[in-house]
Amino acid sequence: MGEKIRFVQDNESFSSNVGTVRGLHFQVGSHAQGKLVRVTSGKLLDVCVDIRISSPTFAKYIVMELDAQTGRQLWVPPGFAHGFCTLEPNTIISYKVTDFYNAEHDRSLRWDDPEINISWPIEADPATLSNKDAAAETLEELRAKGDLFG
């Protein structure tokens, strides 16, 4: 049998505006998190970027639309950065994580990093970026600091 997944914390994020971008977030080291993501209200485009340097899919990403009506969920394993863009107003995303939030291990990858070149579905609204997301680093900067997965 596979490894048992244990969730330790539930998180929720509310975005009132269409085009709100959050992420791309991850935690490093002993506080790396897996996330089980779902939308409880509204609709969004969920994005996961492989940040495992030794992976054949390093710097590649997947996207999935999540909405409250279908109830689909997305598993984001450790070693992936996670973010989203809201497609409807008043969107609520809920996610369970496998490790507690730890500020020292928390990192952000730029949502618009040209090396990754994510094809966002609508014009993202930079005015809705949090301070954390506005200050996020590029993949190259994170790699140089050793803040990616092996």
Residues taking part in catalysis: 25, 95
Sign of dihedral through CA atoms 79, 111, 72, 41?
A: positive
Q: Could you tell me whether strands 9-15 and 91-97 are parallel, antiparallel, or unpaired per DSSP bridges?
A: antiparallel
Contacts of 115 (CB under 8 A, 6+ apart): 59, 138, 139, 140
Query: What is d(CA 46, CA 129) in angstroms, rounded to the nearest whole number?
Result: 16
Asked if omega into 148 is within 30° of 0 (cis), the reply is: no
